Structures are given as structure tokens and as C-alpha cells.
Structure 1
Amino acid sequence: MLYKELKDSIKALGFPSIEDFVHYIGVTPSDILEWEEKDDVPYIVSLIIHLLKGDKDLPNNKTLDNLVEECLPLAQLLEEASSFPHKLEEMFLLQKELNDSTNGKNWELGINKYGKEINWLRCIHMEVAELIDSTPWKHWKNINAESDMNNIHVELVDIWHFLMSYILQETNVPKAVSLVNTHCIYEALEEIDPKAMVKEAEKLSYISLAIETGNMPTFSGVERFIDQFFRCCKISGLSFTWLQKLYIGKNCLNKFRQDHGYKEGTYIKVWNNDEDNVVMVSILDKMENVSFDELYSKLEESYPA
């Protein structure tokens, strides 16, 4: 609103003078002088004028419009975040169910049903290595290659499987959801720096080794793991929503593998020249809402005879 428009509006509202209006809204005469000098009235004053007039439409303001536009992504993220505890609970329950099925009851004690030791920390360490191998980190080979971001996201989901298992080994589902929930609210980066991504991923290995060697207490290690994992997701451009979708997909694929001879060595991992991970992601891309049972059926349809 321009200063002249303010003066005209004040008269129309019945204020004897601009001083009376100033007193009414609680600003100082020096503020009025500044408005007159700049020929610009603050938006909040324009809003008061409109409210006093009884106008239904609010005054236009470019600054406010820009502010609202900037806040929209955050508002959408916060709206999505309201569903995060439910999604986390679903993932932890699915992970427990998969571990019960694959490793047998009481796998939390560190031994599977075949008497073999379970080492989630080593699993995480090895998956980090696979993630790093999806980037052109080697100084002697393919130095100009692009990072395989699709596979990096799949490797992060694999790490998430093992990290959830480790968390469940140390606590229970409600506590696990409580520990993780506040870390899920973040905006994934659009521009990815492969070097930074590798460095952040390596920190997951450092935490694994620190706990394994007794140089970090287990519970503080769990908290460090969670924080660092979601930092890796953010830097890698993997949103929590897509992480959850990929997790359901990979969990379903893991169940599918077990049902089709993975442990016995009879499972076929390459389907018509594509690895099963690639097939699973391509199916997920076409699914708006992920259903474990529907995805399992689609995998059955795609699996080589």
C-alpha cells in the first residue's frame, strides 16, 4: 500500500487525522514519517486497514507470497511427517517378521536357527562398501563415470534393513519407533556431491567398527547410527517417503527370494538380463501406494519360469 492510499483509507474509516490512527494501532509518529519517506506502508498496517474496512480479500503482497511459497515444501513435509510413526512401526514389524522367518525365533540373542552367529554390525559395514562401489571412487578406473544413484538408494535400504535389525536386537518396536521418529523429517538434497556422500557413508562403517571393538557404548552407538544414516539419506537425495517405499519393496523381494530357494542356492537373481533389484524398483515406480501382497504377486508374474 502506498502512503497516499493509507491517508485516503484513514479518512474513509472515519479517523479525524493520521495521528489518531497512529495512536489507535500503537505505532509512533517516526514510523509514519518513514512510511511517507519511502512511500510504502508495511503489510501488517495494510492488513489492519482491510480488516477495519471489512474486506474479505486480503491485500496483495509480493513478500508475503514469496514467504508462503518458500514455506509450502516445509508445510507439506510436516503434513507427511504425521504419518511417519505409523510407517516406521510398519517397517519395524515387517523387519521383525522377516528376521523371525529367516533366522528363527530369538534371533535377537545373536544366533540363527542353524546355530550360525548373526553380526548386524558387519552386515552394515559390508553394505557400506557396496554403496561406495556404486560411485566412481577408484582413482585408477572409470574416473569420469557417474554414480549409480538408483543402486545407491537400494544399498541404503539394505543398510536400513540391517540397522533396524540391530536396533531391534537392542530394544523393542515401540522404543525403536520413538528413537527414529524425529530423524525422519528432512529434505533430501537435489544436487548430489558423490565425494561428500562417500565420506558420510564411511562414517557408518566407523560407527560399526567402534561398537564392534568396544570403543563406543552400544546404546550411544545406536543413536549415532540413526543420526548418521538419515544424514546419508539426505545427502544421497533419498527422501524418507521413498526410503519407506523402497524398504517395503526390498523386504518383499527378500521374502520372495527366501521362498524361491535363496538359502539353498537355487534362486535365480538375474531376470531376463536384469537383476531382481532392478525389476523390483521398476515395478515400484508404477505403484502409487505400496502393497506388500500386490508387489509379491507382481514379482511372481515377472520371475523366470
Structure 2
Amino acid sequence: MIPAIAAAPARVMLQLQAAMNSKVDPEWISARYPYLRAVVIEAAEAIEHHGWKWWKKQLMDLPQLQMEIIDIWHFILSEMLLENDGNVENTLPQLTDWQYENTLEFDSQTYTINERSLLDKLELLIALSASRRIDLSVFAAIMKDCELDWSSLFTQYVGKNVLNFFRQDNGYKEGHYQKLWNGREDNEILVEVMGGLDANDPLYAEHLYNGLRDRYPARP
């Protein structure tokens, strides 16, 4: 049994996501962006970090796989908020009152979630998202397979939210942000910076932002 999310971190994540969406586009609610399409793409990237090719040796990159799960969570939260016109309090019960269900009816089939491999679950998430459906039980099972619980997901979510704000502050929307920092993706740098900080520090987000700023390469 996977428990529901506690109210306090759930509210914080919804508030942060609403703020991020507003920073990207103040009219994000009326724009009705296809957030679940983004889940499809991020889940496919998660499959790549897991490794799926049977014709060559591949090693799972767990930190990057976890980061893709965090990206997926951003877009699931965004879709939930969008369904409630951006109202955090109206969205909150979808997280706090949710109960894990091990069976899922989809496309005239019954899926027993715990019996599926992680790759199968990611494919199922893609199929559901392409059908414009959110199923938190599938996501939670994926999260557990990736060695995340709601507490660690919260910590990593805050980290990625800070990175997203950093990207926007440095020209991501305008197209001149550098995603490769001296040959390494900014997601890799984020994992590295997070590893050197205390997530329980009240100034965690601020220190994380400053750590990214200190490492960001100067524009040519």
C-alpha cells in the first residue's frame, strides 16, 4: 500500500507549480497547454535512462531516471491545477484524499500494477497520458520502483523547481539559456549540487539557486 501525500508538502508543491506556470506564461490557465503530452515525452526519456535495448549492454542511471520522474510530476501537477482553473485548494484533495488502487481498467484490459515491470509501467503511463488520463496509482508505483517516496520526491521536486526558475531567469524562454554546462546537462549539475546541501535547511532553495548560479558558465 502506498500512502497519500501529506497536506503540507502537497500544498507547497501545488503552489510552486502554479508559480512556475505563471512565470512561464501569466495566461497559462487560458492557454490550456497540453501538459499530459509533456508527460508522454518525459516518460519516454525515463525509459532511455532505464535502458531498454536488448541488443546492447545498458546500465540504469538511477539519479537521472529519478529526475525524469520529477519532471513528470511537474506536468501531472500542472494538469491537475489546470482542471481546477489554477486553484490550489480545490486541487489539494486530489492528492491528499487519493488512495492507491492496484488494478486499472484501460483500453478494455485490466492491469494489475504491481505485477508489471518498471518499463511496462512507464509504457502504461505514456498510454494513459496520451489518452489524457491521470492515474496516480501508476505514477506512485513507478516512483516506488525508482526508489522514491513522497518525502524524497518532495525534496527533488523543490530542487527541479529551483532549476526551472533558474532557467527562466537566464533566458530559457527566449532561447539563449545554455542547457549544457561545459559539456554536461544542467540536470546532472543539479543532482551534484543537491548532493552537497541539506534538504532540511530552511534556506535550501536559496542555497540551491546560488549553487547553480555559481556553476553556470558565462555566456560567450
Normalising by structure 1, report the TM-score. 0.60
1:255-294 to structure 2, matched below 5 A, reads 255-288=165-198, 289=200, 291-294=204-207
1:99-248 to structure 2, matched below 5 A, reads 99-105=21-27, 107-111=28-32, 118-140=33-55, 142=56, 144-171=57-84, 172-182=87-97, 196-211=117-132, 221-222=133-134, 225-248=135-158
How many Å separate the matches in 1 of 2:192 and 2:64? 12
How many Å separate the matches in 1 of 2:45 and 2:155? 21
How many Å separate the matches in 2 of 1:275 and 1:208? 26
Q: Does 1:300 align with 2:210?
A: no
Give 1:265 shift.
1.9
1:80-99 to structure 2, matched below 5 A, reads 84-99=6-21
For residues 81-104 of structure 1, the C-alpha deviation after alignment (integer angstroms, 9 at most, x for no partner) is 8x8211111111010001011022
Instruction: Check the 8 A contact 2:35/2:78 in 1, yes or no.
Output: yes
Give me the identity figure in percent: 32
Aligned residues: 199
For residues 153-204 of structure 1, the C-alpha deviation after alignment (integer angstroms, 9 at most, x for no partner) is 000000000000000000231232221125599xxxxxxxxx8111111111
Q: What secondary structure, in the 3-state scheme, does the structure 1 residue paired with 2:121 have? A: helix
Q: Does 1:251 align with 2:166?
A: no
State the AA in 2 paired with 1:92.
Answer: L
Q: What secondary structure, in the 3-state scheme, does the structure 1 residue paired with 2:50 have? A: coil
State the AA in 1 paired with 2:77.
Answer: M
Higher RCO structure (Cα 8 Å, ≥6 apart): 2
Instruction: Determine which structure has the larger strand proportion and give its number.
Output: 2
Q: After alignment, is 225-234 or 91-100 more displaced?
A: 225-234
Gaps of 5+ in 1: 1-73, 112-117, 186-194, 212-220
Q: What secondary structure, in the 3-state scheme, does the structure 2 residue paired with 1:133 have? A: helix
How many Å separate the matches in 2 of 1:242 and 1:285? 13
Alpha carbon RMSD of aligned pairs, Å?
2.5
Q: What secondary structure, in the 3-state scheme, does the structure 2 residue paired with 1:175 have? A: helix
Q: What secondary structure, in the 3-state scheme, does the structure 1 residue paired with 2:53 have? A: coil
Instruction: Determine which structure has the larger helix proportion and give its number.
Output: 1
Instruction: Check the 8 A contact 1:84/1:184 in 2, yes or no.
Output: no
State the AA in 2 paired with 1:230.
Answer: A
Moved over 4 A (4+): 182-185
Q: Do the aligned partners of residues 182 and 150 (structure 1) sit closer, same or farther apart at CA in structure 2, a change above 3 Å counting?
A: farther
Give 1:110 shift.
3.1
Gaps of 5+ in 2: 101-115
Instruction: Check the 8 A contact 1:110/1:119 in 2, yes or no.
Output: no
How many Å separate the matches in 1 of 2:61 and 2:99? 24
